[in-house]
C-alpha cells in the first residue's frame, strides 16, 4: 500500500488534506506579500516613485493572477485538481526565487508576473477540493482554517522579510522564501488524492457529467443577488485589505522610523496572530449563527467591516506608536473577517461542477479591483498628497482607503438580505427558490 493510500484511509484524512491545502495557501501568501516588506529597499535601489511601486505590487501581479485564474478553473472543474495545484505551486515558488536575480525594474515586474501566473492555478481548485471534503455544516470552519493561510503567510512574510532583508538584503530574501514551496509541492502531490465531486453533499457524488460553461456560471452569479453582492463586497474588502497589507510596512518605517525587523515583529503580531484569530472566529461564527439564520453568513462580515472603521481613523490620527498599536488591534482582528464567510457562501450557492469557476470569478473581481487598484490607488494618492503632507502623505492616503469599508459592509448586508431568495442547487444548501 502506498503512502498516499495509507494516509487517505486514515480517519483524519480530510483534516490532513485541509492542513496541506492551508500550507500551500500560506506559501502563496508568503510569496505574494513579501513585496510589502521589501518595497522601501527596492524603491531606494531602483529609484522608483510610490506610484511605480504601487504598480509593481498591484496591477503587475493582479492582472495575470486574476485573468488566468478563470481558464485554469474551467480546466479544474473538468480534471484533476491536485495536479493543477501542484504545478501552480512549482511555478510561483520558482518565479519568486527569480525575483532575487532581477537587475532592473522591468525584470522584477516580469518575475512578479510569473508569480501571479503560478498563483492563478491554486485557490479556485483548493476551494473546490475543500467543498468536496467538508459538508456545509462544517464548511465555514474548514474555510476559516484554510483562510488562515493569509495570516500565516503574512506572519512569515513580515517576520522573515524584516529579518532576512536586514541580514542579507532584498534579493536573497526572495530566494529564501521561494525555494521551500518546491518541497511543499512534492509533499502535496504524493500524499493528497482527488476526491469525488459532490462527495460531501446530500446527493450522489458525481463521477462524470459535463461542467457548465464559463458563460453559464457567470450568468448564474449575476442572476443570484446574494452571490452578486457577495462578489461586490469581496472586491471592496480586497481593495482595502491589499492596500493596507502592502503599504503598512512602508508606513511604519516612514512615519515611525521603525527598522525592517521592528516593522516585521509589529505586523507579524497584528496581522499574523491577531488577524489569524479573527479569520478563524469569522468562519466559526458562520457555522454557529447560520444554524439559526443563514443570513448571518453574510451579516457577520457586514458587522465586522462597519465596526472597525472608526478604529482605523483613530489609528491614523495618532502620533504615539504605542497607543496607536493598541487601537490597531481591532482593525487587525477584523481585517480578514470576510475571507471564510465569502469562500463558504460562494461554494454553498453553486452547483458542484461550478465550484472552481465560481471561485475564480469571485477572485477575479476581488483581485482586479482589490489587489490591482487598492495598492495602486494608495501610491497615487500618496504622491498627490506629498506636496502638502510630505512624509506623512502615505498616512493620509491609507486613512482615506479605510473609509471604503463602509461601502463593503453595505454589500454584505444586502447579500444576507437576499440569501433567503437564492435558488436551491444540488449541494444541500437551504433557501427558497427565486
**228-287: per-residue pLDDT in tens?**
899 999 999 989 988 887 788 889 988 898 887 888 888 888 887 888 888 888 888 888
In three-state secondary structure terms, 320 is: coil
Say how many C-beta atoms besides its own lie within 10 A of residue 423's C-beta: 14
- Whether the CB-CB separation of 337 and 279 falls below 8 Å is answered with yes
Measured between alpha carbons, how far is 121 from 76 in angstroms, rounded to an integer?
9
Measured between alpha carbons, how far is 244 from 362 in angstroms, rounded to an integer?
20
**pLDDT cut 70: percent of the chain above it:** 91
Distances (CA, A) of 75 to 64, 66, 81, 210, 212: 17, 15, 9, 12, 12
Q: Cell for 115?
A: 508569480
**365-402: per-residue pLDDT in tens?**
887 887 778 888 888 898 899 888 888 899 999 999 99
In three-state secondary structure terms, 209 is: coil
pTM for the model? 0.70
Average pLDDT over residues 343-365: 79
- Whether the CB-CB separation of 265 and 166 falls below 8 Å is answered with no
Boundaries of every domain in the chain: 11-196+213-421
Q: Cell for 128?
A: 473546490
**10-21: per-residue pLDDT in tens?**
568 889 999 999
Q: Between 367 and 198, whose confidence is greater?
A: 367
Query: What pLDDT is recorded for position 207?
Result: 46
Average pLDDT over residues 92-121: 88
Just give the CATH number of 11-196+213-421.
Answer: 1.20.1250.20
**410-430: per-residue pLDDT in tens?**
999 999 888 876 664 443 333
End-to-end CA distance of the chain: 49
Q: Between 291 and 342, whose confidence is greater?
A: 342
Amino acid at each position: 500500500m502506498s503512502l498516499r493510500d495509507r494516509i487517505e484511509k486514515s480517519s483524519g484524512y480530510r483534516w490532513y488534506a485541509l492542513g496541506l491545502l492551508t500550507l500551500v495557501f500560506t506559501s502563496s501568501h508568503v510569496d505574494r506579500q513579501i513585496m510589502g516588506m521589501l518595497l522601501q529597499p527596492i524603491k531606494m535601489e531602483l529609484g522608483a516613485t510610490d506610484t511605480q511601486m504601487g504598480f509593481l505590487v498591484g496591477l503587475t501581479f493582479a492582472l495575470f493572477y486574476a485573468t488566468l485564474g478563470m481558464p485554469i478553473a474551467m480546466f479544474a472543474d473538468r480534471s484533476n485538481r491536485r495536479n493543477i495545484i501542484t504545478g501552480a505551486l512549482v511555478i510561483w515558488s520558482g518565479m519568486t526565487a527569480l525575483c532575487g536575480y532581477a537587475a532592473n525594474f522591468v525584470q522584477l515586474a516580469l518575475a512578479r508576473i510569473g508569480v501571479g501566473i503560478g498563483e492563478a492555478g491554486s485557490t479556485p481548485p483548493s476551494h473546490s477540493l475543500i467543498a468536496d471534503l467538508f459538508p456545509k455544516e462544517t464548511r465555514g470552519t474548514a474555510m476559516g482554517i484554510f483562510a488562515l493561510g493569509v495570516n500565516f503567510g503574512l506572519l512569515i512574510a513580515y517576520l522573515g522579510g524584516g529579518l532576512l532583508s536586514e541580514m542579507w538584503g532584498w534579493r536573497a530574501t526572495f530566494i529564501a522564501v521561494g525555494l521551500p514551496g518546491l518541497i511543499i509541492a512534492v509533499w502535496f502531490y504524493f500524499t493528497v488524492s482527488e476526491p469525488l465531486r459532490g462527495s460531501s453533499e446530500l446527493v450522489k457524488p458525481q463521477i462524470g457529467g459535463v461542467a457548465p460553461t464559463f458563460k453559464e456560471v457567470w450568468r448564474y452569479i449575476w442572476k443570484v443577488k446574494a452571490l452578486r453582492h457577495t462578489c461586490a463586497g469581496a472586491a471592496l474588502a480586497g481593495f482595502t485589505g491589499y492596500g493596507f497589507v502592502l503599504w503598512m510596512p512602508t508606513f511604519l518605517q516612514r512615519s515611525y522610523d521603525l527598522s525592517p525587523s521592528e516593522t516585521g515583529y509589529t505586523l507579524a503580531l497584528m496581522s499574523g496572530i491577531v488577524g489569524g484569530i479573527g479569520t478563524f472566529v469569522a468562519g466559526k461564527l458562520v457555522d454557529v449563527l447560520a444554524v439559526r439564520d443563514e443570513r448571518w453568513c453574510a451579516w457577520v462580515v457586514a458587522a465586522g467591516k462597519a465596526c472597525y472603521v472608526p478604529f482605523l481613523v483613530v489609528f491614523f490620527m495618532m502620533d504615539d506608536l504605542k497607543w496607536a498599536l493598541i487601537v490597531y488591534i481591532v482593525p487587525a482582528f477584523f481585517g480578514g473577517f470576510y475571507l471564510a464567510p465569502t469562500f463558504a457562501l460562494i461554494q454553498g450557492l453553486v452547483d458542484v461542477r461550478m465550484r472552481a469557476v465560481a471561485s475564480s470569478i469571485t477572485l477575479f473581481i476581488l483581485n482586479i479591483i482589490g489587489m490591482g487598484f487598492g495598492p495602486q490607488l494608495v501610491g497615487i494618492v500618496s504622491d498627490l498628497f506629498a506636496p502638502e503632507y510630505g512624509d506623512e502623505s502615505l498616512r493620509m492616503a491609507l486613512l482615506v482607503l479605510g473609509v471604503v469599508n463602509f461601502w463593503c459592509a453595505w454589500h454584505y448586508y444586502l447579500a444576507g438580505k437576499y440569501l433567503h431568495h437564492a435558488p436551491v442547487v444540488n449541494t444541500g444548501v437551504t433557501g427558497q427558490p427565486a
